[in-house]
Structure 1
Amino acid sequence: MKLFKSIRSRLSLSYLLIIMLTLIITDVALVSVLRAYFLNNVRDTLYSQLSISTDIYERYFADSTLEENVANDEDGFWRQSEGHVQIVGPDGIVLLDSTGNRPQQALSSEDILMALNGQRGTTIFSSGESGESLMAAAMPLVSNGEIVGVLRLITSLRGVQQSMSIIVMYLAIFGIAVVTVTTLISNVIAQRFIRPIDKLTKTAEIMATGNYNVVSVKMHEDEIGKLSDTLNYMANEIRKKEELKNDFISSVSHELRTPLTSIKGWAVTLKDPMTDTELLHQGLDIISNESDRLKYMVDELLDFSKFVSGKIELEKDWVDIEELFLFLKHNIDDRAKREKKNFVVEITEDMGTCFVDPNRLKQVFINLIDNSFKFTKEGGHITLRMDHRKNYIDFIVEDDGSGISEADISKVKEKFYKGKTSNSTNGIGLSICDEIALLHGGELIIESQLNEGTKVTLRLPNGGK
């Protein structure tokens, strides 16, 4: 039902059901207690009258038999009793009935049987003619220590039923009033409880349209208030990610445009049939280099896409660490000489092996070393070394370049993040390096101080030999 799809309706219904259940249980218990109280009063009244009558019989009428006393119409012992009186013989036959309607068959009701056993007893039954509820109480008649019969009093419970009807009516009126008031109050409480949720819902709906500048107002310091804070935090993070993504797209577009412009320019130049051989070779070399640069950027974007979608798979093998370091040294030495920077690769004896994806590991080292070169001035130092521990291997790339500010160091591994310096690129290199480290079961640790240098540690599990 649509009525109960809202939290407010369910809350109101819950409050109402709890109150109604409480009222029903309370009313049933109260009615039961009051009914028992009224019946006990009636029973005690009957017992009191019976006690007086049986005492009189034992004192003044015990010399004659019960049958003689009834035959002689001796009523001195029971005439002060109010209501319907019966005198029953030891065989259950009614010897006297004050109404004149003496049953012919023997009686065997619970109260009579208890009285014949020397106890007092009561029973409640319905009149056969009118269906009226009656209570009968009986006590033994004793003569010379022997039970000779039963004195029984019967009274109507009409008064008890009328009193109970009035009480039930008042309880019903009270219950209806309580339910009505509870319904109104529960609606108010539910509305107050739901109001901040409604506001959160509207805020979330606005955010769903792409507007992350809206702010959820925190109304209370509770779970809903915490949800409001979480929603605001989420919107702020999404807004930052959107800004980073837009910056990333702008940066990538700019980086792609530069080699494309160079290729386009040289292609136009080389179309001239008068171009000499030296210029032709120079142009073709530039086109080749710029094409390689474009391929590298496209490959980096493809890798990034695979990492984001979780489709990357490692092709692990045993890699000789010394050979890996020598490969990196041979590939980067020319750049170090060209840029007049000191690149040192520390190679020691018995560097061992590690079980990794060699191509991905090279990709990480090249990216980290490339970053160090970008942020290290002419004459600066970049070092690649290894620290072999018991449970892991640390591959360290360290420089004395410009460093990273404390505000940026926690963000540099985030997707799309781009630093504020002119050397910063598209913002996916370190993100890819971090993903590769995680896929190997390791981590990428970055330590840096502004204007003092940066130390990046690739920590991998020690699976070598």
Structure 2
Amino acid sequence: MHMRLSAKLTLCFFIIMAAMFTLLNTYGVHKMKHNLLEDKKLLLYKEASLLSKEYVTAFYNNEKPLFTLSSQLKTIDTFLDARIWVVNYDGEIITDTRDSSTNLNINDYDRTFLDYTFLENTVIPDIFCTPTLCVIKSVNANYETKGYIVISTPIKSIEKDSVHYIDIANISLLFFSVLLAGIFFVIHLITVRPMKKIIEAARQYSGANYEYPLVIKSKDEYKDLADAVTFMAGELNSLDDYQKKFVANISHDFRSPLTSIKGFTEAMLDGTIPVEMQEKYLNIILFETERLSKLTSSLLALNSFDHNGTILDITTFDINHIIKKTAESFETVCLDKKITISLVFSNKETYVQADMGKIQQVLYNLIDNAIKFSHSNSTIKVSTDEKNEKVFVSVKDYGIGIPKESLKKIWERFYKTDASRGKDKKGTGLGLSITKEILTAHNENINVISTEGVGTEFTFTLMQGHKSN
């Protein structure tokens, strides 16, 4: 079962929040406590140094009575919220800001206590019942250690401060989670919603509903994707129309000759057509058979181009020689219609680099097309010219011409002008499509100029070649 993008975004949100909450209340608490402890050590040590210099040294120099010192230290205790001792050199506590009756010797509990500067988690029965931070600073007078200042504060108070700060951070995290939820919602709007629209459009297009509107207002990759999908739908729609048209044309072009062949064959078999008339109808059957054969060959040729199955055999050859050979194949047709093919070459030999067989097919299609639409007693001009490493081949007739509205459609498969349908029953409407495909495979161009009642000229280019020695 796959997870939807919206569910993934929601899961990511909760994972991020859970990770941040866990990190803040584990590592964050530990780090906060450590930093507060270090800050507290530094603060208390500075205070202890200040007390040693400003107050306690004066006491040991007999410049200040113990009563006055105790009063001053209690004031500082209130400010620091920390217990302050003055301990003499032998470890006896001579003043305590929290218990004036204290009469203890610290060495009785821990003889190494005064050797440290910082002591963490210290517990002394009857004095520090909970873990305590102690900061110890010696008091020097006349270059001798006279005693010590001990400032202590419960570790619990530091932990309480750390929890307080973490609570503030948790509240901030709560507000941040609301902001992050808003950010994820915006991400959902700009990612999931357009994706859902595109998915729904793809489903509609796959069901042949090519008119389904796909509107993406953003100017980003989703817009580009939507445009691509819409374009694909348009192409599929065109392909669907083309396939329907293709089937209709194929059905028509196959059905007509097959109906004639079937009808005349049955008529000859059942005696409807007498023996002396059979030759005439056998010629009709032969004509329709050739028409079917030509249509099948043309379809196979187009299919090979559609699937990139045609491999061009590029050679260097004399295009003028190929034109002469191709023109000779129309000799009988030209005699019947009294049409002359005029060959005009800029040079005696003109070499090109191309697939000779395919180019011969192009020439055949263009000359055949020119003959179909030429009047009797007219001329068809085939010429070659060289310019800028290119060879221009032209086939020009002086026939009925092509209507202006049909010029852009003549390359479409099965397309026939109305004049063509009336004039030529054997044509398949595939000749110019095959011609275009062959020249496109050669990376060459073909253009057409035509005027109704005046004639038509097709011109295509080939890469110029050089005669090998």
Q: What TM-score range do you get, normalising by the shorter chain?
A: 0.7 to 0.9
- Within 5 Å, which residues of 2 pair with 1:49-448? 50-62=49-61, 77=69, 80-81=72-73, 82=77, 83-85=83-85, 87=87, 94=91, 96=93, 100=104, 101-102=106-107, 103-107=109-113, 111=117, 123=118, 125-128=120-123, 132-145=130-143, 150-176=148-174, 178-179=176-177, 182-183=180-181, 186-187=184-185, 190-191=188-189, 193-268=191-266, 270-271=268-269, 272=271, 274-276=274-276, 279-339=277-337, 341=339, 343-347=341-345, 349-376=347-374, 382-389=380-387, 391-399=389-397, 401-403=400-402, 405=404, 409=408, 412-413=410-411, 416=413, 418=415, 421-423=418-420, 427-439=429-441, 441-448=442-449
Q: 1:435 to 1:15 in 2, by over 3 A?
A: farther
- In the alignment, the residues of structure 2 paired with residue 361 and residue 134 of structure 1 have an alpha-carbon distance, to the nearest angstrom, of 101
Residue 80 of structure 2: aligned partner = none
Q: 1:299 to 1:152 in 2, by over 3 A?
A: same
Residue 69 of structure 1: aligned partner = none
- In the alignment, the residues of structure 1 paired with residue 365 and residue 30 of structure 2 have an alpha-carbon distance, to the nearest angstrom, of 85
SS of alignment partner, residue 105 of structure 1? coil
Q: 1:254 to 1:178 in 2, by over 3 A?
A: same
Q: 1:49 to 1:18 in 2, by over 3 A?
A: same
Q: 1:369 to 1:208 in 2, by over 3 A?
A: same
Which of these residues, 437, 454, 458, is aligned with residue 456 of structure 1? 458
- Within 5 Å, which residues of 2 pair with 1:38-53? 40=39, 43-44=42-43, 47-48=46-47, 50-53=49-52
Identity of aligned residues (%): 19
Q: 1:13 to 1:323 in 2, by over 3 A?
A: same
Q: 1:319 to 1:203 in 2, by over 3 A?
A: same
For structure 1, which segment, 199-208 or 148-157, has the greater mean C-alpha deviation from structure 2 after superposition?
A: 148-157
Q: 1:151 to 1:353 in 2, by over 3 A?
A: same
- In the alignment, the residues of structure 2 paired with residue 30 and residue 376 of structure 1 have an alpha-carbon distance, to the nearest angstrom, of 97
- In the alignment, the residues of structure 2 paired with residue 236 and residue 438 of structure 1 have an alpha-carbon distance, to the nearest angstrom, of 23
For structure 1, which segment, 135-144 or 264-273, has the greater mean C-alpha deviation from structure 2 after superposition?
A: 264-273
- In the alignment, the residues of structure 1 paired with residue 341 and residue 330 of structure 2 have an alpha-carbon distance, to the nearest angstrom, of 8
Deviation at 1:202, TM superposition (A): 1.7
For structure 1, which segment, 330-339 or 31-40, has the greater mean C-alpha deviation from structure 2 after superposition?
A: 31-40
Q: 1:222 to 1:405 in 2, by over 3 A?
A: farther
- Count of aligned residue pairs for this structure pair: 437
Give the structure-1-normalised TM-score: 0.76
Deviation at 1:200, TM superposition (A): 2.3
Question: Please, which runs of 5 or more residues in structure 1 have no aligned partner?
Answer: 65-72, 112-122
Q: 1:63 to 1:447 in 2, by over 3 A?
A: same
Deviation at 1:205, TM superposition (A): 0.9
Q: CA offsets per residue over residues 415-445 of structure 1, 9 Å max, x none? A: x462554527655433332332344x33232
- In the alignment, the residues of structure 1 paired with residue 376 and residue 225 of structure 2 have an alpha-carbon distance, to the nearest angstrom, of 52
Residue 70 of structure 1: aligned partner = none
Q: 1:48 to 1:138 in 2, by over 3 A?
A: same
SS of alignment partner, residue 433 of structure 1? helix
Q: CA offsets per residue over residues 177-212 of structure 1, 9 Å max, x none? A: 643674477347515642332222122112212332
Kindly report the root-mean-square deviation, in angstroms, between the aligned alpha carbons of the 2 structures.
4.2
For structure 1, which segment, 365-374 or 200-209, has the greater mean C-alpha deviation from structure 2 after superposition?
A: 365-374
1:54–1:151 Cα contact (<8 Å) kept: no
Deviation at 1:386, TM superposition (A): 1.9
Q: CA offsets per residue over residues 10-41 of structure 1, 9 Å max, x none? A: 33344555667778889988996798578646
Deviation at 1:317, TM superposition (A): 4.9
- In the alignment, the residues of structure 2 paired with residue 53 and residue 328 of structure 1 have an alpha-carbon distance, to the nearest angstrom, of 120
Give the structure-2-normalised TM-score: 0.75
1:375–1:403 Cα contact (<8 Å) kept: no
SS of alignment partner, residue 154 of structure 1? strand
Q: 1:242 to 1:56 in 2, by over 3 A?
A: closer
- Within 5 Å, which residues of 2 pair with 1:22-37? 36=35
For structure 1, which segment, 243-252 or 77-86, has the greater mean C-alpha deviation from structure 2 after superposition?
A: 77-86
Deviation at 1:263, TM superposition (A): 3.1
- In the alignment, the residues of structure 2 paired with residue 88 and residue 383 of structure 1 have an alpha-carbon distance, to the nearest angstrom, of 129
Q: 1:76 to 1:417 in 2, by over 3 A?
A: farther
Question: Please, which runs of 5 or more residues in structure 2 have no aligned partner?
Answer: 78-82, 97-101, 422-426
